[in-house]
Amino acid sequence: MDPRTQNLARTMAGYCLDAQPREAFAINATTAAAPLVEALYEELLKKGAWPLVRMMPDGAQEALFRSGQDHHFDEVSPFDSAIVGKLAGTAAIYSSRNTRSLSGVDPDLQARLAKASRPLKNKLLKKKWTLTLFPTEAYAQDAEMSLRDFEDFVYSATFSDEDNPVKAWFDLKKKQDKLISKLEGAKEVQIIGPGTDLKMSIEGRTFINSAGTHNMPSGEVFTGPVETSAEGVIQYDFPVVNQGREIDGIRLVFEKGLVVEATATKNQDFLLKMLDMDPGARRLGELGIGTNYRIQKFIKTILFDEKIGGTIHLALGASYTETGGKNKSGLHWDMIKDLRKGGELRIDGKAIQKDGKFLKSYFTA
Give the tens place of pLDDT for each residue, 164-200. Answer: 999 999 999 999 999 999 999 999 999 999 999 999 9
Whether the CB-CB separation of 94 and 132 falls below 8 Å is answered with yes
pLDDT confidence of residue 361: 66
Min mean pLDDT across 121-125, 152-156, 343-347, 352-356 is at 121-125
Strands, DSSP E only, in the chain?
A: 24-30, 50-56, 89-94, 128-133, 188-193, 196-201, 208-210, 220-223, 231-235, 240-242, 245-247, 251-255, 258-263, 284-290, 311-317, 332-338, 344-347, 350-354, 357-358
Q: Can you tell me the mean pLDDT for 293-315?
A: 94
> What is the reported pTM?
0.85
Distance CA 90, CA 12 (A): 11
pLDDT confidence of residue 210: 95
In 3-state terms, what secondary structure has residue 195? coil
pLDDT confidence of residue 122: 85
Higher pLDDT, 241 or 133: 133
pLDDT tens profile 222-248 = 999 999 999 999 999 899 987 778 899
The CATH homologous superfamily for domain 3-163 is: Thermophilic metalloprotease (M29) (3.40.1830.10)
Whether the CB-CB separation of 28 and 148 falls below 8 Å is answered with no
Can you give the residue ranges of every domain in the chain?
3-163, 185-358
Whether the CB-CB separation of 311 and 338 falls below 8 Å is answered with yes
Strands, DSSP E only, in 57-205?
A: 89-94, 128-133, 188-193, 196-201
DSSP string across 339-353 = -TTT-EEEETTEEEE
